Structure 1
Amino acid sequence: MMSIRAVGLGAPMRQATLSRALARSPVVLAKRNVQTESQPPSAAIDILNKQRLRRPTSPHMTIYQWQMTWIPSIVHRMTGGALSGLLYGFSLAYLVAPGTFDSAHIVEFVAGLPDVVKYAGKAFFAAPLLFHSFNGVRHLSWDMIKFMNVKGMYQTGYTVLAATAIGTVGLVLM
């Protein structure tokens, strides 16, 4: 018994011995009387809606402080969806009307626009593309277990924003 106490197995050994003794004795379950009533199947939706109204409301995003760790992640998803939607939209438009959406007609259309519209259009397309690209590199660095502390995440977040701003200005001025 001394060796069992030295290792610290005294209590588990007692529990195992008692559980064997309890396993041999009959177990008596207490009966509870529960009143039930029959409901039509259509009442299930009403009951579920009443239960949902009594549930507590989870806090909304507006109570949280905006952080460099989750805002770029949300924007990364939005820019990815917008860029892929733009690609699919242009591809479908080209399939439907290849004569209207070929390169010559697009260049001719853009050449006729005022300069302010051209620069705004370039910024409108360049900023999401560059942000998504640079933030994708940031995510790849996380996959390689780089910058996986709070300081590194904030540094890379601000680096992505700065690179996006500089790259957007550079592409707009081309």
Structure 2
Amino acid sequence: MAALLLRHVGRHCLRTHFSPQLCIRNWSLPMAMSICHRGTGIALSAGVSLFGMSALLLPGNFESYLELVKSLCLGPALIHTAKFALVFPLMYHTWNGIRHL
């Protein structure tokens, strides 16, 4: 993920100059990993906050929403993709934080 971000920003800096600070400095892998770590931290904080607020404000309980998802008859590929999208930021942030220690 960090390498993909690094490659994308490098290509974008060659085409246009949107900020001199991003184009003057050479992007390194630790720099891109730090940005991804901060982004996953922000996403996890927002996700936990939204989940907590929805548990307080929405009617019904967790089981009723679980039954709603089951009734949609989503394919296994979509379910596994959604699970990966939920777990990947948590695992990336956790292992990157341990690496930083």
TM-score by length of 1: 0.42
Matched, 1:129 2:87: no
Task: Describe the SS at the equivalent of 2:29.
Answer: coil
Query: 32, 37, 46: which is aligned to 1:76?
Result: 37
TM-superposed deviation, 1:106: 3.1
CA 1:88/1:69 → structure 2, altered by over 3 Å: closer, same or farther?
same
- Superposed counterparts of 1:90-105, under 5 Å: 90-99=51-60, 102-105=61-64
Query: 25, 28, 47: which is aligned to 1:67?
Result: 28
TM-superposed deviation, 1:98: 4.3
Matched, 1:110 2:51: no
- In the alignment, structure 2 segments of 5+ residues that lack a partner are 1-18
TM-superposed deviation, 1:92: 0.6
Mapped to 1, the partners of 2:30 and 2:37 lie a distance apart of 12
Ranked by relative contact order (alpha carbons within 8 Å, sequence separation 6 or more), the top structure is 2
Larger Rg: 1
Identical amino acids, percent of aligned pairs: 36
- Superposed counterparts of 1:1-174, under 5 Å: 59-99=20-60, 102-111=61-70, 112-140=73-101
The equivalent of 1:4 in structure 2 is none
C-alpha contact (below 8 Å) 1:110/1:118 kept by paired residues? no
TM-superposed deviation, 1:60: 2.8
TM-score by length of 2: 0.69
Provide runs of 4+ in structure 1 moved above 3 Å. none
Would you tell me which structure has more helix in proportion to its own residues? 2
- Residues 29-56 of structure 1: per-residue CA shift (max 9 Å, x gap): xxxxxxxxxxxxxxxxxxxxxxxxxxxx
